[in-house]
Amino acid sequence: MGFMAGNFTCKEVAALITEYLEGSLTLTQRIRFQMHLGLCFACRNYLRQMKYTVATLRQLPSEPVPTQVREALLERFRSWKHEQSSPNSSSDS
C-alpha cells in the first residue's frame, strides 16, 4: 500500500490536506503531495472524504430567520427613512 509512497508520509498528507485544497502548497510540496496520492489509495479516499465533508456542509439547510424579526426590521427601516427625509424631525417632534 502507500506506506512511504512519494516523499510524504500519510500523516503528513493528512496534515497538509486543507493547504492542498486551498491551493497554498508550494510547487514542490504539491508535486510530492500528488505523487503520494498517486500511489496511496487510503490518502486518495481521505481526500475524497474531505471534499465530501465540505460539500455536505454546504448543503446544510439555511438558518431560518423568524418573520417577526424581519417585520420588525422593515418597520425600523420605514421610520429610519422617515427621519432621513425630514432632517429637522428631531427639533419638530
Partner 1 sequence: MLLPFIFSRKLVLFLAVPNLSDPLPRDEASLVRALQDGDETVFSAVMDQYSGSLLRLAMAYVPSRAVAEEVVQETWIGVLEGIGRFEGRSSFKTWVFRILTNRAKTRGTRERRYEPFGLAGVDSEKDEGSSLEDSLFVAEGSGSGHWVDPPQGWEADTPERALLSKECRIAIEEAINGLPDNQRQVITLRDVEGVSAEEVCNILTISETNQRVLLHRARTKVRRVLDPYVRGGNS
Whether the CB-CB separation of 70 and 38 falls below 8 Å is answered with: no
Report what 75 binds from Zn ion, partner 1, none; CB cut-off 5-8 Å by kind: none
Least distance from Zn ion to the Cβ atom of residue 15, Å: 12
Q: Is residue 15 within the footprint of partner 1 (CB under 8 A)?
A: yes
Return the ∠ at Cα 34 (arms to 47 and 38), rounded to 5°. 80
Annotate each residue in 44-83 with x if it binds partner 1 (CB under 8 A) or - if it does not, as one string: -xx-xxx-xxxxxxxxx-xxxxx--xx-xxx-xxx-xx--
Q: Which residues contact 90 (CB under 8 A, 6 or more apart)?
A: 83
Q: Is residue 2 within the footprint of Zn ion (CB under 5 A)?
A: yes
Q: Is residue 24 within the footprint of partner 1 (CB under 8 A)?
A: yes
Q: What's the Cα-to-Cα distance from 86 to each of 21, 72, 73, 77, 82, rounded to whole Å?
A: 53, 22, 20, 14, 6
Least distance from Zn ion to the Cβ atom of residue 68, Å: 52
Chain contacts with Zn ion (rule: CB under 5 A): 2, 10, 40, 43
